[in-house]
Amino acid sequence: MSEETIEREAVGFIGLGMMGHGIAKNIVENGHPLSVIAHRNRKPVEDLVGRGAVEVTSLGELARQSNVVFLCVTGSPEVEAAVRGPDGLLTNLRPGSVVVDCSSSDPTSTAMLAAELKARGIDFADAPLSRTPKEAWEGTLDTMVGADDAVFARLQPILDTWAAKIVHIGGVGDGHRMKLLNNFISLGYGAIYAEALALAERVGISAERVDSVISGGRMDCGFYQTFMRYTLEGDRDAHKFSLANAFKDLRYLESMANGAGLVNPVGNAVKNSYAAAVAADGAGDYVPMLPAYIDRLNGGKSK
């Protein structure tokens, strides 16, 4: 397939949340025909239509107008509903189309959906994301892609519109497997930071004093910096990844470890830190707010 043909491919986008809105904005601004569908929040749809996208009223209509469909939703249940649901992608996409899941999904579900779509002549790729809504808007996200070589080559010009770092991990499902490993590491940092900050407060060491040691040293990293901006500056939007999504991804990681026959005590400990926060009505709060929930778990009164 020539580059000229790729440029003319019609793209559909499902999931215009904090990450999806920015991704879709970059796709349409780089000249790709784009169809979008509203869910609850109309503002992203109206913004994208103003930039040249076309709004459709059903998944079936979006599928019939698209050759490549991106999903950027919460997780596997939402992806499965969009693919398998009545008037969904499975029954409306033409053979030769591609479905690209940018969500953080369960690799087992990914493999099953890929097989179902392949039986109808439709390819599947997983391209989960790393970084934040700021990079989504700027077109500088990271993505780790699971797809066969031909599908990856076909998608790369579209991925280039919104990602600065594109890594072809391997076959279908490998992108989601790598994403779970990536999030295990980052959310593990978050759990450690949260417990360390709660303990520091208990023994009379302020967050500012902790930061004076960690920031700029060997233990510093980009995740630490965005995590600490909430603690030090009250910047609620510095790291917009919800505790509910963190808990979901760590459950997927646990399932992957179980399937591989791996004992993962650290993964379970990290998962339980987020589980406790979600159980304490913290689902909608963001990862940098975890220290308050660790404090409350230990009898404190912070929120």
**Mean pLDDT in residue range 189-201:** 97
**pLDDT tens, position by position, 202-233:** 999 999 999 999 999 999 999 999 999 999 99
pLDDT for the residue numbered 39 = 79
Helix, strand, coil: what percent of the chain each, to 5? Answer: 55, 15, 30
If asked whether residues 9 and 139 sit together in one domain, one would say yes
pLDDT for the residue numbered 292 = 95
If asked whether residues 46 and 145 sit together in one domain, one would say yes
Residues 4, 34: contact at Cβ < 8 Å?
Answer: no
CATH number (domain holding residue 56): 3.40.50.720
| Confidence class for position 6, pLDDT limits 50, 70, 90 | very low
**Mean pLDDT in residue range 108-128:** 97
Is 179 an active-site residue? yes
**pLDDT tens, position by position, 45-89:** 999 999 999 999 999 999 999 999 999 999 999 999 999 999 999
pLDDT for the residue numbered 303 = 55
Domain membership of residue 138 (yes or no) is: yes
If asked whether residues 13 and 150 sit together in one domain, one would say yes
Domain membership of residue 193 (yes or no) is: yes
What whole-number distance in Å separates Cα of residue 55 and Cα of residue 240? 27
Domain range for 154 is 3-171
Give residue 281's region: left, alpha or beta (phi > 0; psi -120 to 50).
left
Tell me the average pLDDT of the chain.
Answer: 94
pLDDT for the residue numbered 132 = 87
pLDDT for residue 22 is more than 90: yes
Domain membership of residue 195 (yes or no) is: yes
Instruction: Report the relative pairing of strands 34-37 and 141-146 from DSSP bridges.
Output: unpaired
pLDDT for the residue numbered 229 = 96
| Among 25, 43, 165, 179, the one annotated catalytic | 179
pLDDT for residue 144 is more than 70: yes
